[in-house]
Each structure stands twice: as structure tokens, then as C-alpha cells.
Amino acid sequence: MDAATSKRHIRGHVDQELEDLRAALDAVDSKLVDALVERRDLVKQVARFKVGHGRGIRDPQREQELLEKLVARGEAAGLDSHFVTRIFREIIDHSVRLQQEYFSTSGDPNGKPRRTIVVAFQGGEGAYSHLAATRHFGARDAKVLYEGFPSFKSMLEAVKNGMADYAVLPIENSIAGSINENYDLLAKMDLHLVGEEMQRVEHCLIGVAEVPLTKIRRIFSHPVALAQCGAFLATLTNCHAEAFSDTALSVRRVKDEQDLSQAAIASEEAARVYGLPVLARGIADQKDNFTRMVMVAKERAVYDAALHCKTSLILSTKHEEGALLKVLQTLANHGLNLTKLESRPQPDSPFEYVFYVDFEGNTSTPETQAALEELRACTSFLRVLGSYPARRPS
């Protein structure tokens, strides 16, 4: 056997060994998927039990004990505790969403597959709104189509006109604050809030190819994303930041133009969608960055009284002393915790204001219903935007 043949023989043996290992990994991955399916079916059984016996969904103490037990088991086997925690937080979160579907009287109580639903979001695939949409509707027992729109207004109009079933609307960021234009859109359109997500925002710098950061001359992204990465951008010399309509679409522009000196700031998922490399991760000035997004629908949703919900209102107070205090006192008297109070100028009425109010309460409960009746008596205008399952940053 000559040297060339010997090398081919050795290479063939190594390649076969690698293929065998990959096949073993594939088998393990298949078992993981099968286990997730089995877990999902058990979660549905738990949900049916809770609905039938009037039990609540979340048990924080049990969730914490479960995580601690799983982390300890993982550590004993040599797994990183943060890795195990992150995986099982996602699994538990998905389980909660499955159970919430069963607690919604607007859903199918028998858990039968429903028709295809269309979810609208602003921007392109991989945008943070798109990520929030896939998290929120991923537990639905139905086929879901996600459709990007050029603006928040066109997205909401699609829901109003029946072109889409739901829309994902960002209304507040933990760093930048309220997104006022979207609050104004909610006030103008007769739509309902049926859910919310707390989407973690993790900005990355994405380029055409792996090039040194010193070679980057232009960076595109949404203005808010650029503002949130100011410290990182300041470290780049001879580089110009340019505002664009959307984070994910800025990645698509960079890919289309194929200019090695250009980059975009967006999610890592956007880089995966467009097949581009991530040049830098974690580039935001503050690491804990969340955007609160609400799910908007044409019809209101009603959730079981056992489900912990948040209720959102738009209201105007009467022109009398202590009017706003009466609103706040009414909520307090009924044990409803206020989570947001925002004032906005009332359209076409100079120096008059409407208030956006969020509180912890479910309109299916007698306490919340009684509070709303009292609020109607002490306000000049009151509209319930929606009552929906509350989310926590994770």
C-alpha cells in the first residue's frame, strides 16, 4: 500500500468514526425531543386537572425547588449550573404558556388543533418583535404564520381589517421608557390587548464576514438600538452610525450590499436568519434590557378567574379636585396593585390628558369588576384595553 492510499484509508477510518459519533448524537437529540413531547402531554393533563379543580397555574415555590434539584443533579454530573438553569427556565416558561391556553375561555377547551393564525409584527424576521411573537404563540395548538409589516400602524390596521389575527406591539422599554407613538395608536384604534411578553434585548454587531472592528465604517440599526449601544460605538474610530427602520432589516441591508466596511446592530437570531457572522456580542450599555410587548387582537380575550392577569385601561378624569386620587384610591380599596400610570396629551384637545393605567387584576374576578364599576363613576371616560396573563422578565 503506497503512502497516498494509506492516507486515504486513515482519513476514511477517521471520517467513519466521526459519522458514528454524529449518529450517536442524533440519537440522543431524538430522545430529547421525544422527552419534550412526553412532558408537553403531561403538562396538558396537569392543565386539565387545574381547570377542573379551580387550581392556579403557577407555584413559584415548586418551580424554585424543581430548578434547585435539577441544577444540583446537573452539577453532580459535571454540567454548568447556568446552562441547566437556562434550559429548564425555558421549559418551565413554555409549560406555563401551555397551561394558560387551557385557562383561556377564548381557546378550544378540548385542545383540538385550530385553524392557521396570522401574527403581524413590525420589521423583518429576527426582529425583537418577531422573537417575542414566536415565544408567545409557540405554545398554540395551531399552525402560526408570522408576517412582517413596514410600520406599527399598518400592522394594527391589518388586525383591524381582518388581514391578521394578532399583532405584536412594543409599548415600553426598561431603558428607553414608554413608546409613546404606540400608546397613541392604541387610543385611536378599537383593538384589544390579549397578552404580553417581556422580551430580552441582546444587541450584537453583525457583519458580512469576519473582519476586524477597525475596518467597520458604517453601522445601521434602529435609532433606539443605536442609542442603547453608545459606549460601544464610541470605541470605534472613523465609524458612522446610521438610523434604519428596523434592527433585523438593517442586517438584510448589510447582506444585500455585501460591503465589508458595513455592519448592523440586531439580535443574534437576525444574524442566523440572514446567514451572517456575529462580530461582537453583548454590546449594549446596560445588560438587563427588556422590551414589554403586548399582543393585540380585534376581539377581547377572557381568562379564567384563577389566572393571574394584568388589566390595562385608558381613562380621563373629571375636571374636579382630587379626581386622579379617587382613581388610585379605588384601585387600592379593592386590593389591586398599580403597575403603571402614564399620561399622554389627548388628541385634538390641547392641554387635556388621558391616562394609561395597568394594574394586577383579572376582569373575570368580582373584585376587579367592582373596581371598574366604581372607576366608571369617577371618570369622564374609561376604556378597558384588555385583561391578559401577566409576564415577568426572564
pLDDT at position 3, please? 63
How many whole angstroms separate alpha carbon 327 and alpha carbon 377?
10
The three grid cell numbers given for residue 148, joined into one nine-digit string:
412582517
Is the pLDDT reported for residue 23 higher than 60?
Answer: yes
pLDDT at position 264, please? 97
Domain ranges of the chain: 25-102, 114-201+290-297, 204-281, 309-389
pLDDT at position 91, please? 83
- What's the pLDDT band for 9 if we cut at 50, 70, 90? low
346: which DSSP letter? P
In angstroms, the Cα distances linking 36 to 33, 79, 138, 254 are 5, 20, 14, 37
**Terminal CA-CA length for the chain:** 61
Mean of all residue pLDDT scores within the chain: 88
pLDDT at position 92, please? 79
pLDDT at position 207, please? 97
- Four-CA torsion 136, 139, 141, 144, nearest 10 degrees: 40
Residue with cell 433585523: 248
Share of the chain above pLDDT 90, in %: 57
Is the pLDDT reported for residue 107 higher than 60?
Answer: no
Domain 25-102 class in CATH: mainly alpha
pLDDT at position 66, please? 84
- What's the pLDDT band for 229 if we cut at 50, 70, 90? very high
Report the topology of domain 309-389.
Alpha-Beta Plaits (3.30.70)
Report the topology of domain 114-201+290-297.
D-Maltodextrin-Binding Protein; domain 2 (3.40.190)
3-state percent breakdown (helix, strand, coil) of the chain, nearest 5: 45, 25, 30
β-pair partners for 266 = 204
In angstroms, the Cα distances linking 361 to 13, 296, 338, 365 are 65, 18, 9, 8
Domain 204-281 class in CATH: alpha beta
pLDDT at position 106, please? 47
The three grid cell numbers given for residue 353, joined into one nine-digit string:
390628558
Give the mean pLDDT of 183-205.
94
Give the mean pLDDT of 111-124.
79
The amino acid sitting at 167 is A
Q: Which of 7-16, 297-306, 361-370 shows the lowest mean pLDDT across its residues?
A: 7-16
Asked if domains 25-102 and 114-201+290-297 share a fold, the reply is no
